[in-house]
Structures are given as C-alpha cells and as structure tokens.
Structure 1
C-alpha cells in the first residue's frame, strides 16, 4: 500500500511508519520541518505541511490510505492559548485534511482514513465500563474529541472509509507517561496519584501500532477503543511498575500538589477515571499481544524483556 501518515515524527507515528515500511509499504510523511524529520526517518517520503493550511496535493494523490495522528500535546497547563492550540492542531488540521481528500478526483482519492481520537472522549466516569457505544463526556477534552471525530467522519461524504481510534495511555519506555515516570520510580520516589482509585486505560505501543495496521487492513469502520482489555486502577499501575523495577512506591502525589504544579484543569485530567474497554476490537478479532499490565511492563522495562 501507499500510506500517508500525519504526525509521522511522533512516538506513535514513527513506530507505525517503521512497521509499514518493514512490511514493504510506501510511507509518505507530513511535517512542518521535513528535513529534520527525514534525518530521523529517512525511509519516508517527506512533504511539508503547516496545518491548518491545506496539505500538499502531491502527497495525498494516489495514496491508498491516510493515517491522521497530528495533534498538540495535552500535558501542559490548559490556558486559553493552549486550549486554542490543542483544538486547532486537531480539529482545524483534520478539517483541512478531509477537505483536501474530498477535492481529489475519484481515481486519486485514498480509500480509507484512520484518524486518531482519545479516551478523553468519555470524560471522568468513575467505575463505569466504557465501550464505543458509551456517550461522550462534557469537559474540555471530551468536547475536543467529539469535534475531532466529527471532522474525520466528514470524509465519509467523499466515499472514504473512516475508522477513528480512541487511544488510551500509550506505554513506551522512552516517551509519554511511562517515559516520564521511569526516572522517578527508578529512584524509589514513585507513588500513586490522587486517591489511586481512578481507572487507567493503558495500551502497549506495539498494540497501538497493531490496531492501526488492523484498522487499515481489515476494512474497519466507525470508532474503536485503542486500549488494552484489562485496564487497571492507578494504585495497581503504581504497584506493578514499582514491582517490575524492584523499587518501593512510597510517595503519593496528592491532587492538590498536581493542581499547584499543572493548574486545576489539567490536574482534573490527570486523575480522571476512564474504564475504557476495547469491545469492538475484541468482537472483530484483534488479538492483543500485551493484554495484561504485568507482561507489558516486564517487556518494556523489566530486566528480561522479551
């Protein structure tokens, strides 16, 4: 296949791009800085894109599929300016991408769009089990996800198959949540966050990439929760990570401390509870390589990675 990947220089995008290239697919990447991106991933054909401007037509034309992973990071103080960047980088960029897809002639238009969303769609839901049929939340990030998904789904009007992945907390040893926690836990300074009772919908990076490939290859439509089938509470996550590293976890982080460092709105996001389950992926035959947290963390950070 010929696949265009937006956000191809990020953690998920670069892992997906390498997986596509390894199986013989042609991968086109879009970046604000193609030269820098090419130095990191020279196997891609890079084009410049500065969203929310329209992406270059020559990059899109003739592709079989597009994977849309672009988006400003969430883990920052949610000031008015940050919120605007978060919305623009997701919603406006996706609208520009879909408009460009729709403008292509039928013979040049990609057949599929796999677009990123997040479990933030559900908001803070306590112990409620959340599947793809669950209603959205009503906080800032939930509203962003609703509008982001709506922007991607517009491509169906141009005859493009659309699959939206609501991604959980992606575990990778060198980035994201786990990348930030590892130095702290290795020093024996880790601990639960807030009450520790909030559910964490995690997923191993290999399964995140696996679900993206599965969505591309198996004509999957609609929304899919990209989360492991066994979510855990924050307290269990903390204990499992500490045990895997053979370190204590004695220093809980109160919510008040999070609010002091990150601001109250981001603190609420960090302690939000989402017991999201990958109902559709399991129903439709995706087999998780890392369904349980113990195995996932042992593979990522244990002493005997498999």
Structure 2
C-alpha cells in the first residue's frame, strides 16, 4: 500500500513510521520536513502547510496514487492564537478530507482524541457513542469536536460515495522520544525540563483521573486499522487510568491536594501574565474528559496496549530526565539558551506563529 501521513514527524507520526511494515510505501506530509536519516529516511517527504490557502491544491498533488491517508497533523501552540489553531486543525482536516475524496483515496484515518468527548461522566467509562461535543472552555477540545462534526457532515452529504473514515480517539499520548517536544510546548524556556522528575511534591486536585496511552500502542492500532480497512470510531487507552496519587508515585513525589478551581485560577493568571504557555482550557480538559471503554478496538482490531499507563508515564519521564529527542523539527533537542533566544527574538511559543 501507499500511505500518506500528515504530521508524520511528530509524536505519533514518528511511532507510526517505526510500526509500519517495510512493504508499505510512506509519504510524509509536514510543514518542515526532517532530514531523511534514521527512521525519517523511511518516508518520501512533502512540505505542505495545512493552514495555508493552497493546502487543498498541494494535497491533491501529494495524494495522487495514495491508497490510504492517516491524518495526524494538529497544532498545540500558540495558545494565544486560537484562530490559527482552528485554521490548522479544523481547516486542515477539511483540506485533507476534500483532497482524499477528490483523489479517490480508499480510506481516511483521522486522529481524533478523548478531548472530542463531552463532559458529564468524569471518572466513568464511555464507549464510542458518547457525545462528541467537546469541552467548551478548551480550544483544543472545541477544534477536535468541530473536526469530527465536519466528518459527520461529509458522510451524511456524500452517502454511499463517501470514502471509508476511521476515527481514532486516544487518551493523552506519551513516549520517551517525544519528551523534548512535549515539554517545550508546556514549559517556559527558563525552566529546565530535567527538573520535572525531581519534583518533591505534586500539587493537584485529588479527583484527577485521566486516560493515558503510549505512542507505540497508538501506532499499533493505526497499523491494524489501515491494514484491515476498518472504519468508524475507536477508543484507545491503557490501564489503569491515572489518578493524582498514581502520577505522584511514578514521579516519586508527595501528592498534595490543590483544588482544581484554585489551580485553574493560578494557571489562568500565570498564562495571562505570560509566565507559562498552558492556558486554563487544558486543565479544564483534564478534569472533564471521561475514561474510555476500549472494547471495540479489542474486538474489531484484536488490539490491546502493550504498555500500562504507569509504564507510559515512566517512559516519558525517563525521556525528560535524559533530554530525549529525535531529529525531526517538532521533536528535536533545544537548549535553554536556544529557547530563551527564540523567546526574546521571535516571541513566546504561546504567541509566535511557528512554534
């Protein structure tokens, strides 16, 4: 098969490049192509900015002769420019869908998220029929919900002529190799990420209960979906769900109860003061999304995670401790000096156009 992957150099994309059997031809679609070395030598790379007005035309050319498209590309920063994030996430999904349909691609695999689900069942498990109306205070969740609505409307409008669409809804995705990229999006440039695993205390609301999953397990599910030409939504999460005390245990830190409302206020004030990059919506998301029943993935894909949730978190933290990274632009290593230089010359990652 010839498979096009948007966002192929990111967290999940890198894991998918490792997981795909060698007999598949891979086309990588990213804004900033990596050097074709190591795992990134696996793909034929094309530079396409999904937020650009020419994205559809460019994708039409790239998708020529492609059997399946795996759409992973998404933006997490800049949190202060939600219009850009929507243009990239929702607008980019629209361009990918239109190009795939126009080119007669056999299957579209869309990377959705637990963040697409509505609140109302925190700490309880839901299957894929749970409403996908998102968490209103989270820009990420709103856009994930809007992207799924776009797919719904397409399937209703086109009917039997619609291409097969699979929707992957994983929990929060972690892996060692993505430590540098994930921490850079969340930590200010002046905070060494190696400090995180050394935190003596973990001030969080004791109600925290979130689904986590390792990127390798997400990649395994993606391979199974593509090779089986599966369609429809699939929940993906590892066991057990992670509570505050579970996270503290992996960190080796002492858990301290800090009410979510108070923590939310502190996050909001510090974000508005430009002291850190994460807006309150991400905290609202963590304390709103349900847990997931993954029975459908087990039954239809014969899928089961090989990493437990604590193991996935420990793998990420090991990467944080050792400054793990890859050679792709979104995951490459950046020193504190380089991060501070970019903050001064180009603006904070939460504000600048190209994080």
Q: TM-score with structure 1 length normalisation?
A: 0.81
Q: Say whether the 8 Å CA contact 2:16–2:216 is kept in structure 1.
A: no
Instruction: Provide the residue aligned with 1:248 in structure 2.
Output: 253
Give the secondary structure class of the aligned counterpart of 2:4. strand
Q: What is the rounded CA distance, in whole Å, between the counterparts of 2:179 and 2:294 in structure 1? A: 21
Structure 2 residue runs of 5 or longer lacking an equivalent are 188-192, 272-278, 319-355
Instruction: Provide the residue aligned with 2:172 in structure 1.
Output: 169
Structure 1 residue runs of 5 or longer lacking an equivalent are none
Q: What is the rounded CA distance, in whole Å, between the counterparts of 1:270 and 1:138 in structure 2? A: 10
Q: Does 1:95 align with 2:94?
A: yes
Kindly tell me the number of residue pairs found equivalent between the two proteins: 287
Q: What is the rounded CA distance, in whole Å, between the counterparts of 2:280 and 2:311 in structure 1? A: 34
The alpha-carbon deviation at position 83 of structure 1 amounts to: 1.7
Q: TM-score with structure 2 length normalisation?
A: 0.71
Which shows bigger deviation, 1-10 or 251-260?
251-260
Q: What is the rounded CA distance, in whole Å, between the counterparts of 2:82 and 2:315 in structure 1? A: 35
Q: Say whether the 8 Å CA contact 1:190–1:248 is kept in structure 2.
A: yes
Q: Does 1:212 align with 2:208?
A: no
The alpha-carbon deviation at position 183 of structure 1 amounts to: 2.8
User: Which structure would you say has the larger RCO, counting Cα contacts within 8 Å and 6 or more residues apart?
Assistant: 2
Give the secondary structure class of the aligned counterpart of 2:176. coil
Q: Deviations over 1:98-154 (max 9, x none)?
A: 2112222xxxx2211101111111244422322211123451444322221133456
The alpha-carbon deviation at position 66 of structure 1 amounts to: 0.5
Instruction: Provide the residue aligned with 1:127 in structure 2.
Output: 123
Give the root-mean-square deviation of aligned CA atoms. Answer: 3.0
Which shows bigger deviation, 45-54 or 7-16?
45-54
The alpha-carbon deviation at position 179 of structure 1 amounts to: 5.6
Q: Say whether the 8 Å CA contact 1:198–1:273 is kept in structure 2.
A: no
Q: What is the rounded CA distance, in whole Å, between the counterparts of 2:50 and 2:61 in structure 1? A: 16
Q: What is the rounded CA distance, in whole Å, between the counterparts of 1:265 and 1:297 in structure 2? A: 22
Q: Say whether the 8 Å CA contact 2:63–2:100 is kept in structure 1.
A: yes
Q: 1:37 to 1:178 in 2, by over 3 A?
A: closer
The alpha-carbon deviation at position 6 of structure 1 amounts to: 0.3
Q: What is the rounded CA distance, in whole Å, between the counterparts of 2:178 and 2:10 in structure 1? A: 10
Instruction: Provide the residue aligned with 2:209 in structure 1.
Output: 199
Give the secondary structure class of the aligned counterpart of 1:257. helix
Q: Say whether the 8 Å CA contact 1:191–1:249 is kept in structure 2.
A: yes
Give the secondary structure class of the aligned counterpart of 1:63. coil
Q: 1:186 to 1:89 in 2, by over 3 A?
A: same
Q: Say whether the 8 Å CA contact 1:132–1:279 is kept in structure 2.
A: no
